[in-house]
Amino acid sequence: MIRIGCGQGFWGDSAEAPVRLVEDGPLDYLVLDYLAEVTMSILQKQKKENPAFGYARDFPPLIERIAATIQTKGIRVIANAGGVNPKACAEEIRRRCPQLKVAVVLGDDILSDLPSLIAGGHPLLNMDTGEPLASVLDQVLSANAYLGAYPLAEALASGVDVVVSGRCADAALVLAPMLHAYHWPDTNWPRLSAGIVAGHIVECGAQCTGGNCLADWQSIPDLANIGYPIVEAHSNGHMVITKHEGSGGRVSLASVKEQLVYEVGDPSAYYTPDVIADFTTVQLHDDGPNRVAVSGASAHGRPTHLKASIAYHWGFKAAGTLTYGPPQAALKARTAAEIVNTRCRNLGLSFDKQVTEVFGDDWAMLRMAVRDRSKANVDRWTREMIPLVLNGPPGATGYGDGRPKVHQVVAYWPALLPREKVTPRIEVLA
Tell me, what's the pLDDT at 40? 84
Confidence at 55, pLDDT banded by 50, 70, 90: very high
What is the per-residue pLDDT for 319?
Answer: 97
pLDDT per residue over 237-246, tens digit each?
A: 999 999 999 9
State the sign of the Cα–Cα–Cα–Cα dihedral 399, 403, 404, 407. negative
175 alpha carbon, distance to own chain's centre: 17
Helices (H), 102-217: 114-119, 149-157, 172-182, 189-202
Determine the Cα–Cα distance for residues 346 and 331; give it in Å rounded to an integer.
Answer: 22
Mean pLDDT of 217-240: 97
Domain count, the chain: 2
Q: Give domain status of residue 425, yes or no.
A: no
User: What residues are paired with 103 via a beta bridge?
Assistant: 163, 428
Segments forming the whole domain that contains residue 368: 311-413
What pLDDT is stored for residue 399 in this prediction?
A: 86
What is the CATH classification number for the domain harbouring 346? 3.30.70
Same domain, 210 and 288: yes
- The answer to whether position 377 is within a domain reads yes
327 and 204, same structural domain? no
Give the global pTM: 0.92
Q: Considering only CA atoms, which of 37, 41, 32 is closest in space to residue 13? A: 32
Q: Residue 108 — very low, low, confident or very high, per pLDDT cuts 50/70/90? A: very high
Q: Do 33 and 158 fall into the same domain?
A: yes
Query: Is 278 within the bounds of a domain?
Result: yes
Whether 333 and 242 map to the same domain: the answer is no
Q: How many CB atoms lie within 10 A of CB 42?
A: 18
Confidence class for position 41, pLDDT limits 50, 70, 90:
confident
What is the tens place of the pLDDT at every residue in 243-286? 999 999 999 999 999 999 999 989 999 999 999 999 999 999 99
The pLDDT score that the predictor gives to residue 239 is 98
Does some domain include residue 138? no
d(Cα 204, Cα 13) in Å, to the nearest integer? Answer: 10
> How far apart, in Å, are the Cα atoms of 45 and each of 4, 42, 51, 52, 410?
33, 5, 10, 12, 11
**What mean pLDDT is predicted for residues 207-234?**
97
Co-location of 154 and 265 in the same domain: yes
